[in-house]
Amino acid sequence: MPQAKIKLVVTGDDFGYCQKRNRGIVDCFQAGSISNVSLLVNACSAKDAADLAKRHHMPIGLHANLSEGLPVCPTLRTGSTLMNDDGFFHGKMEFRKELQNGQLSMAEVELELRAQVKRFCDLTGHLPHHMDGHQHVHVLPEIREVFAQVLSDYSIPYTRVPVEHGLQACPWLPPALREFYTQVEKDARDSVAVFRRHGIRWPDTYLGLTTMGAHMSLASIQTAITNAMEARPPGDGEAQMERPVTMELMVHPGYPSDPQQGGCGQGPDEFSQSPERKHELDVLSDPRLHAFYAQERIQLCAFRDF
């Protein structure tokens, strides 16, 4: 078999969200459509997900969650800057507002991240192979410093840096979504120096913002990979050619959650109940995509394979 040109980690996020989501992610893994999963340890079906990962030998990391549902750390459940008046995390956008207004305690962020690492170990029997952030919270200002220190302390080697080449060349993205993604990319770029200082690594390239949900198609995945390859800086000639390019493709496949079933303590959100979850599963399992991988010498792998 020719040497791989690209080593692609296809990560199924939100593992543990509900049993239907878990089943869809496992089906994807068994079909060779994803190669890695990221576990929400505060989700309703986290134990089921961890048991499935053991049974099917699925490479698994931690999807650190500071924005949806309930904290893992017991002391934070009785009152915390990370929680709103209803007793849940603030939510994707409100969390960012609270952070910007200086209302969040970084000591409490650290407590919760460490509690989630411990819960992960209790569920899986080992440390995460990688750790990223639900809704990209890990690259936010201040959070990134605490996050990096926790990874360093536990010797968790890999994370995600969500900067996608070609994002600005996607006029079909709704303005609000484009604005959010642009801010995510800025935060991610600002995190690079912090992660490097702590010895944390990540793949050469990230994909997934332009291929999420209804925007995922055979063509959009091919375009994202092509854009990433074309954006590579000129390297060390022969040495660069010999080493495969490493990429991570973030995906959210599954079977849509039933109403009132799943979530992280406050029920399932619209994202998890959307038919777009099944759409992603179908696209990722398309034989034409697998043929494209083979044709372009793209080898699916996991962070633990690096």
Inter-residue contact 166 to 231 (CB < 8 Å):
yes
How many alpha carbons fall within 13 Å on the CB side of residue 131?
A: 31
Handedness of CA 219, 272, 204, 27 (dihedral sign): negative
Dig out the tokens for 83 from the structure. Answer: 């929680």
Instruction: Please report, for residues 9, 16, 215, 219, the alpha-carbon distance to residue 283 in angstroms, rounded to integers and kept in the order given.
Output: 16, 21, 11, 10
CA distances from 49 to 43, 271, 279 (A): 10, 19, 21
Given 13, 14, 132, 187, the catalytic residue: 13
**Residue 286 annotated among the catalytic residues of the structure:** no
- CA distances 224 to 210, 231, 301, Å, are 8, 11, 18
Which residue is listed with tokens 């854009």?
227
Residues assigned a catalytic role? 13
